[in-house]
Amino acid sequence: MDFFFITYIVLLLIICFLVMVAQRLKISYPIVLVLGGLLLSLVPSVGVIEIKPELIFLIILPPILYEAAWQTSWKDFWKWRRIIFSYAFFIVILTASVVAFVTSSLIPGFTLALGFLLGGIVSPPDAVSATSIMRDLDVPKRISAVIEGESLLNDASSIVVFRYALAAVVTGTFSFQAAATNFLLVIVMGALIGLAVALVFYAIHRWMPTTPNVDFVLTFVSPYIMYIAAEHFQFSGVLAVVTGGLFLAQQRQTILSPMSRIRGISVWSIIGFVLNGLVFMLIGLQLPTIVHQLGNISLWAAIKYSLIVAAVLIGSRLLIALGTPIFTQFVSRFIKTADASPGYRAPLVLGWAGMRGVVSLAAALSIPVYMANGEPFPQRNLILFITFSVILVTLVLQGLTLPLVIRMADLKDPDYKLPENEQDLRLQRGLARCALQKIERRYNDQLAQNALMQAYYDRLRNSLHLLENSDVMIAESESDNNNSERAAFEVMRKDIIETQRELLQRTNKRAAVSDDVIKKYLLALDLEEEQLNGQVKLY
């Protein structure tokens, strides 16, 4: 146990170092972590570190999905829901089918069921690498929204495909009609269970006397309960976590206190970073174990098959993505679409942003070593090697070249005509006007008797004057006064903060304003309120 604990402490330190190296080299950190783990695995003194599937599926995957759901913009998710669902379900299933037919006809001893098993494993892209690359590039919001939304759902569809293919290999029978019916049942019931668990936690957060610490513990355990509850009934635990997480994320302004929201953002960001860092490092460390398990399969033959599967995955996703504009233009004649003429540039970027990740390797590792009759599971070792190689090839090849593809595509943002700094300035003006109007309507008779109120009112007027001519904000300064004036002043400011929150939420309904900008100012209001409560200090 001591060795196990020390090993992971050392891994965390190595992860931090490699992330700093990635920052210096301006490379997506998952790529550096996988390559770092790969190089570390070649050091003779490093022992074998194996990934257990239950470690990924039960311990690591639920909080990663939950954190991603809390960071997802529901407005953008709903706006691009059709393309997100098509990428997460249709493209994943189609890609798995292409891989199945290619591998069953190419690899000796590979049946169609084994091909679908491999296809279900390697078909879902991992969004962590793509989003970490796009964060530093000028990419339209719709691109990142589709990739983030797809990543929330594609794990569910791929795991369902994997399970049915695994059952077909084990039993030797497969019914397409039964599989299609059960597929819908698993998806729908998983979502409903996640929503049901989320409603329970909503009630606890909303009506029980929680504290910020209790709120965080509740948000930490909720994805595990969602996942375990759905998996217990053999439904999609992944979709349960995603659905429940999206629902609770949209209710955070209602069910959580300002301090709970502030702490939650910070702590969940750290949890997501640590867990993602660990899994990408562990992927690289699996090389010796996977190569050793090849047995009598030629290493060069395994490499050849892996490169072919990687090429099939990259090519099929690109072709399908580039074909979506034609389909969208056709469908837009009959139904309203978010963009009736998307062009080829955005689909090109979406098609190239198909790096594979931890879910693929965890699914491959969960293949049983032996069949029910005691015989070794057919082609298990080769499937593991192909999966590892596909993750490595797509992360390195597509990850390193994605910035170049984005620059070549020269994408313009058709959704948000105003740049974010202009949105910033307009929101600051709106918030200042909102506060001034509230003071003049409700607190005007107290201004002359309350020096703090008058100072705050003057500051707002001066700030608005500057905002109307520039983007410079005057630093806030407050002076001490008697307790009664301060109490009245704090009541006024909290009242204004609540009004400003309502204004931001109304503004967020407009299509021209980015959800990220709104979230930034909601967080600023949370910090300001907690400053008044004496919980935090703003410098």
> Tens-digit pLDDT profile for the chain (539 aa)?
566 677 778 889 999 999 999 988 888 888 898 889 888 888 776 666 666 777 778 888 899 889 888 888 888 888 888 888 888 888 888 998 999 999 999 988 888 889 999 999 998 887 676 777 776 677 788 888 888 888 888 877 888 888 888 888 887 776 666 677 777 888 899 999 999 999 999 999 999 999 989 999 999 999 999 999 999 998 888 899 999 999 999 898 889 988 888 888 888 888 888 888 888 888 888 777 787 777 778 888 899 999 999 999 999 999 988 887 776 666 666 666 656 666 788 888 888 888 888 778 778 888 888 887 778 888 888 998 999 899 989 988 988 898 888 888 877 777 666 776 678 778 888 888 898 899 888 888 888 888 888 888 888 888 887 777 654 433 333 444 456 776 787 788 888 888 888 888 888 888 778 888 888 888 888 877 876 775 444 33
Q: Is residue 186 helix, strand or coil?
A: helix
pLDDT, tens digit, for every residue of 255-291?
998 888 888 888 888 888 888 888 888 888 877 778 7
CA gap 484, 497 in Å, rounded: 20
Say whether 137 sits in a helix, a strand or coil.
coil
What's at 535, amino acid-wise?
Q
What is the Cα 222 distance to its own chain's centre? 17
Can you name the residues that pair with 376 across neighbouring β-strands?
Answer: 370
CA 220/CA 276 separation, integer angstroms: 16
Locate all alpha helices (DSSP H) within 439-482, ordered by sequence.
451-467
Residue matched to tokens 């690109």:
318
Q: Which of 432, 483, 494 minimizes the C-alpha distance to 459?
A: 432
The 10 Å CB-count burial string (b at 16+, else e) for 123-152 is bbbbbbbbbbbbeeeebbbbbbbbbbbbbb
Determine the pLDDT at residue 217: 93
Give the Cα separation of 369 and 375 in Å (integer): 9
For position 537, what pLDDT does the model report? 41
Q: Helix or strand or coil: residue 356?
A: strand
Domains by residue range for the chain, with CATH: 2-409 (1.20.1530.20), 420-532 (no CATH)
pLDDT at 482: 57
Residues whose CB falls within 8 Å of the CB of residue 124, separated by 6 or more in sequence, listed in order: 92, 151, 154, 155, 157, 158, 356, 359, 360
pLDDT of residue 85: 85
Write down the pLDDT at residue 476: 39
pLDDT of residue 183: 78
421, 471 contact by CB (below 8 A): yes
